Structure 1
Amino acid sequence: MGRSLSAFLAQNVEKVQAVRYAATERIQEDGKPVEWEIGCITGAQDAALRNQCTKQVLVRKHQYRETFDANAYLVKLAAASTLFPDLNNGELQKSYGAVDAESLLTAMLTPGELSAYELKVQEANGFDKPMEDTVEEAKN
């Protein structure tokens, strides 16, 4: 049986489906929680988010150590993956006093809701383990 690259062509690859999730019981329409829509970002988008959350910290003269802010990354990932509601909508941001998608997300959800939402976002993006578990494993 011969192998072919045709299965790898973009048009032949199954698309990742968006996930619906009620991030909070507090936002309701017709007495039911409104479902948010979470999409999967690309590898390039993920790399850009990771770069934004990675900093070089001076340890001693001419010696730097790389640090990664996992909390900032998870909020950025959640904001970038949210298809609905539109977290970049100016009217929505203004209503919460937010200046960008990340600050809007943290204003809209309680800490517990945000944590659960971040887990759902990671799942929608194909992560097998939550980021916190991965960070803890890397520390040990």
Structure 2
Amino acid sequence: MTNLSAFLAQNAIKPDSQERVVSKRFVDPETKEPMKWQIVAVDSDRDEALRKQNTKRLPVPGKKNVFQPTTDYDAYLATLAVECTVFPNLHDVDLQNSYKVMGAEALLKKMLLPGEYAEYLKVVQNANGFDVGMDEAVEEAKN
């Protein structure tokens, strides 16, 4: 017989926050070791809200008053990355001012090199349980 108590909220194992070195360019001034970023997962409700926030209704060519929802996958991943980043605080005004940007998404893109940014997006997706490759994820987001 199965034990349904394993599925009760209080018995579910909560996902741990992860610490990762995202870039070796950010080092602790005292230890000279690369700084670790802290990443947490979001729940499915929050993920759905982030997807909706980055979805637009675009008109279908040739069909009057017919619209199709289209998710801006790059914007969604940027928003998800910001939402999951606990440390450093990407909403910190002083940190944004030091890079001369406004907004956490702009800060994240300015702080990281393109390869670092792409790798960080993969880390964030993995932290949230997405184990699909980028091509599969793009196709899934389109549908």
TM-score (norm 1): 0.90
**What residue is the counterpart of 1:44 in the other structure?**
45
Sequence identity percentage: 44
SS at match of 2:138: helix
- The yes-or-no answer on 1:72 pairing with 2:75 is yes
**Cα distance in 1 for residues equivalent to 2:130 and 2:136:** 11
**What residue is the counterpart of 1:15 in the other structure?**
14
> Equivalences for 1:34-113 in 2 at 5 Å?
34-59=35-60, 60-113=63-116
Q: Give the aligned length.
A: 139
Q: Is the 8 A contact 1:70 1:131 kept in 2?
A: no
TM-score (norm 2): 0.88
**Cα distance in 2 for residues equivalent to 1:31 and 1:130:** 34
Supply the RMSD in Å over aligned alpha carbons. Answer: 1.9
- Consecutive unaligned residues of structure 1, counting only runs of 5 or more, are none
- Consecutive unaligned residues of structure 2, counting only runs of 5 or more, are none
Runs of 4+ displaced beyond 3 Å: 136-139
**Cα distance in 2 for residues equivalent to 1:107 and 1:52:** 22
